[in-house]
Amino acid sequence: MMIPPSKVALVTGANRGIGFEIARLLGERGMEVLVGARDPARGEEAAARLQALGIAATPLHLDVTDAQTIEAAALAIASRYQKLDVLVNNGAISIDGGHPPSELPLERLRTTYETNVFGVVAVIQAMLPLLRRSEAGRIVNMSSAMGTFGVWSHPYMGFGAAPPLAYGTSKAALNAITVFFARELRETPIKVNAAEPGPVATEMNPAGTRTPAQGAQIAVYLATLPPDGPTGGFFSETGVVPW
């Protein structure tokens, strides 16, 4: 009997937080996990922690704002696996620092978009040839309720702080990017969806009430969708999230 080749998953920003847990949970499902990290030492340390849990984890130097590391990562995956089954665009930054939109230094908007928006597109474009070689490619974009229009346009909703223009609009753009790629790829087996993990206690959100493992669940669900699963949607653990 032929043993099917194992699935290969790449998680960006997998060295800590929700990304680490996504990598762990995909690894527990038998996937080979590439631990994307912008700092090679942090990636190696995280991969070693996963290996100690019995997971097939390999560190991969990948700074989503650095075209050279993206290209090198794609070449490394092509040479070792010839394909990619799952891409989770998890790495992101949140640097509004409490500034209201009227006072946000423009540089913070640019820096945020470099990682949360342009970085994601660059990684998808680089990995797409490898995802096309998978029987069931899955792209998961880690988004946020902060990227929804409903939250900020409703007078009684919001998060009790100044609307984070850079972070929130970067995730709104990511949601749009999700729909655009899903549209382009709709005749292929590849599914592209956005995930909302809820408020998760990490370095990005120390006040979060959910564990990183809980936050990772929706990404794992979307990364392992069956062939008749949705594409071009935005989901949390409780279902569809309104844009």
C-alpha to C-alpha distance for 47 and 59, rounded to whole angstroms: 6
Tell whether residue 115 is a contact of ligand NAP (CB under 6 A): yes
Tell whether residue 178 is a contact of ligand NAP (CB under 6 A): no
* Cβ-proximal residues to 163 (8 Å cutoff; 6+ apart), any chain: 100, 101, 152
Active site residue 167: yes
Complete edge-to-edge strand list for the sheet that includes strand 8-11 = 57-61, 32-37, 8-11, 86-89, 138-142, 191-195, 234-236, 239-240
Nearer to ligand NAP, 187 or 203 (CB): 203
The least distance separating ligand NAP from the CB of residue 228, rounded to whole angstroms, comes to: 27
Residue 77, CB-side half-sphere exposure with 13 Å CA sphere: 33
Tell whether residue 236 is a contact of ligand NAP (CB under 6 A): no
Longest dimension (CA), the chain: 64
Which of 7, 38, 61, 108 is in the footprint of ligand NAP by CB under 6 A?
Answer: 38
Residue 97 backbone zone (phi > 0: left; psi -120 to 50: alpha; other: beta)? left
Tell whether residue 43 is a contact of ligand NAP (CB under 6 A): no
The least distance separating ligand NAP from the CB of residue 8, rounded to whole angstroms, comes to: 18
Nearer to ligand NAP, 112 or 224 (CB): 112
Stretch that binds ligand NAP, among 80-88, 98-106, 125-133, 194-202 (CB under 6 A): 194-202
User: Where in 62-91 is the site for ligand NAP (CB under 6 A)?
Assistant: 62-65, 90-91
Nearer to ligand NAP, 22 or 131 (CB): 22
Tell whether residue 51 is a contact of ligand NAP (CB under 6 A): no
**What is the rounded end-to-end Cα distance, in angstroms, of the chain?**
46
Tell whether residue 202 is a contact of ligand NAP (CB under 6 A): yes
